[in-house]
Copies of this chain bind each other. A is one copy, B any other.
Amino acid sequence: MRLMKFSASGREAYGIVEGDRVVEIVGDLFGSHERTKTVHALKDVKIEIPLIPPTFYCAGLNYTMHIKESAAKLGVEPDIPKKADIGYRAVSALVAHNEPVIIPRDATEKIHYEGELVAVIGRKVKHLSEADALSCVLGYTIGNDVSERTWQKNDRTMWRGKNTDTFKPMGPWIETSVDLDKLETMVRVNGKESTRFPTNDMLFSVATYIAAMTRYLTLYPGDVIWMGTDGSSPNIKAGDVVDVEITGIGTLTNPFVAET
């Protein structure tokens, strides 16, 4: 089932995407909800950010090739994480499918994409075992962890390198039926494939992260965990369009534009 937040006729709602239409639902996204008789053509609605997370988690370095390639570009030894230490991103940077990523005037040319699987938490949990960890996941969506590498490297924190306004596209919807081992991530720039990797080929799996995190942290409905990326990105310029597709989930598309 594909749960999507959208706006139409001046109001927001959640719906279930079925082919080229959206069936509006009422009720609790994380609990009982039911279909209504209101149906929209998918092409006629504006897709919104699937939800605003109470806490926005991000694994960061979680694929071996990405870590080695990033280190090589910086001329340093790769630093492979030894355990599932989660990081954070800022809610203020989120934008929806099809919304523009705005490149600040003083950014360098090193604007990169990172196509990521996003786990969406469906219930309040703590102290989950790894075997039970996935039971708290409502579904999965897609994120593009846009980065300005010069700022990321030189600033004391990742505040503008990772969290500049519009640098965190997420969507287009939450897919609740996912076989993690079958997923493949593909990133395209202006329609041309640029990166491809098996989505679940992570250093630490979704379940490993959730078990590690919930030893100390309570997860809440709507929290999201961005799972990191593999490979590397070319420099993205204003005018480019980036698609992040994860098979079985969908495609997150965002144009990149210059700040005016």
List the interface of chain A (C-beta within 8 A of B).
52, 54-55, 60-61, 81, 83, 85-88, 90-93, 104, 126, 155-157, 159-160, 163-165, 213, 215-220, 223
Contacts and interface: CB of A to CB of B under 8 A. Distances in A.
A214 to B, nearest CB: 10
Contact of A85 (B83, B85, B159): B159
**Chief secondary structure at chain A's binding surface:** loop
Contacts of A213: 159
A50 to B, nearest CB: 16
A160 B92 contact: no
B164 A217 contact: yes
Given A55-B90, A83-B155, A86-B159, 11 more contacts: A54-B92, A55-B91, A88-B90, A88-B157, A88-B163, A92-B217, A92-B220, A92-B223, A93-B217, A159-B216, A164-B217
Contact of A157 (B86, B156, B160): B86
21 contacts: A54-B92, A55-B92, A60-B157, A81-B156, A83-B155, A85-B156, A87-B156, A88-B88, A88-B90, A88-B157, A90-B217, A92-B219, A93-B217, A104-B216, A126-B165, A159-B213, A159-B216, A159-B217, A160-B215, A160-B217, A165-B216
A5 to B, nearest CB: 17
A91 B54 contact: yes
Given A126-B165, A165-B126, A92 B159 contact: no
A160 B81 CA distance: 16
A218 B92 contact: yes
A147 B15 CA distance: 42
A38 B156 CA distance: 48
Nearest to A86: B159
A66 to B, nearest CB: 15
Contact of A165 (B85, B218, B223): B218
Contact of A217 (B54, B85, B163): B163
Contacts of A52: 54
A159 B218 contact: no
A216 B165 CA distance: 6
Contacts of A159: 85-88, 213, 216-217
A164 to B, nearest CB: 4
A216 B88 contact: no
